[in-house]
Amino acid sequence: MSPPPVVAAVDGSDDSLRALDWALDAARRRRAPLRVVHVRQYAAWAQPDVLVAGPPEGGDEVLDQARGHVEGRTDRTDVEYVGLDGLPGALLPELGSAAQLLVLGSRGRGGFASLLLGSNGLAVARDAECPVVVVPRPGREVHGENPGGPGPRVVVGLHVDSPGEATLAFAFGEAARRGARLQAVAAYPWPARTWVAPGEFAPPVIEQQAVESEMRKLAEGFLAPHRARHPEVRAEAYVAPGDAAGHLVAASKDADLVVVGRHRRRLLAPARMMGSVTQAVLLHAASPVAVVPPSPPEE
């Protein structure tokens, strides 16, 4: 039985061709088939220069371009080309139910040139049932200290208050496939503030060293079972004060991949959400970003 495919969304843009390259490499590493999908957005009432007036006749130029792009580079990877008609932001997330990975570019052919991430990328990363990888445009500049070091590296965000087991499992698996080391970034707020009265804060009664030591102990505990399952992966915890998104974006420089989680649905917030850290990383990271949905709740 063939494993679920890696799905690459294409629209003829340079961004989607970069995503196609990433998806082809991912399919090879997983020994999985590659499914190249073009969602043809059209509406009969739209202006011709805004949307295509109807389904194309006599073929699909975008899929033809994709075939030519990967021709001769597929090796033993099975490649399927699929054309769909409708709204990409609605149809692409549905493909995640039958895929092990969904890959797309940070921006497509539409939208404003100033946008760092298109609306379809946000919708797919938020709604798909499988992990979604968004491949950014080259040349993004990131600022801040980069603790990465040389060699292949996968970065994962670790929230010690609510660690995402699915996120860690995906990151370890990706590091193993790539022969990369894993860098788990755990940030904590500092200076700690104690609320006393409106507008007043008491100075911290604990030392920063003690907070960092406790954070590191928690992080190592969450990494331990995944290290046991992947002894070939060298994993290290990077614990630092400050904003988690800022540390993850800084660590994205020269990284193979940054892995972040998506919020689990809650009783008072039943809609799918990504969270501010995940959105910030998608917008600003220099490397491809994988957004991993939470594990289904146990019965």
In the chain, the N- to C-terminal Cα span, in Å, equals: 28
Q: Which long-range contacts (CB under 8 A, 24 or more apart) does 262-268 make?
A: 262/125, 262/126, 262/291, 262/292, 262/293, 262/294, 263/294, 264/294, 264/297
Alpha carbon distance 280, 93 (integer Å): 20
Among 22-26, 61-65, 193-197, name the one with the lowest average pLDDT.
193-197
Predicted TM-score (pTM) of the model is 0.85
Structure tokens given for 121: 């990328």
Structure tokens given for 119: 């609306």
Phi and psi at 102, nearest 5°, equal: -125, 125
Task: Work out the number of other CB atoms within 10 angstroms of the CB of residue 175.
Answer: 27
Amino acid code (one letter) for 46: A
Could you give all domains of the chain from N- to C-terminal order, each with its CATH number?
6-135 (3.40.50.620), 153-292 (3.40.50.12370)
Specify the residue for token string 């994962």.
156
pLDDT digits (tens, 9 = 90+) for 221-269: 999 999 999 999 999 999 999 889 999 999 999 999 999 998 755 444 4
Q: Which DSSP letter does residue 117 get?
A: S
By residue count, the chain amounts to 299
Instruction: Name which residue leads in pLDDT, 108 or 114.
Output: 108
pLDDT of res. 286: 93
Share of the chain above pLDDT 90, in %: 55
**97, HSE (Cβ side, Cα atoms, 13 Å):** 4
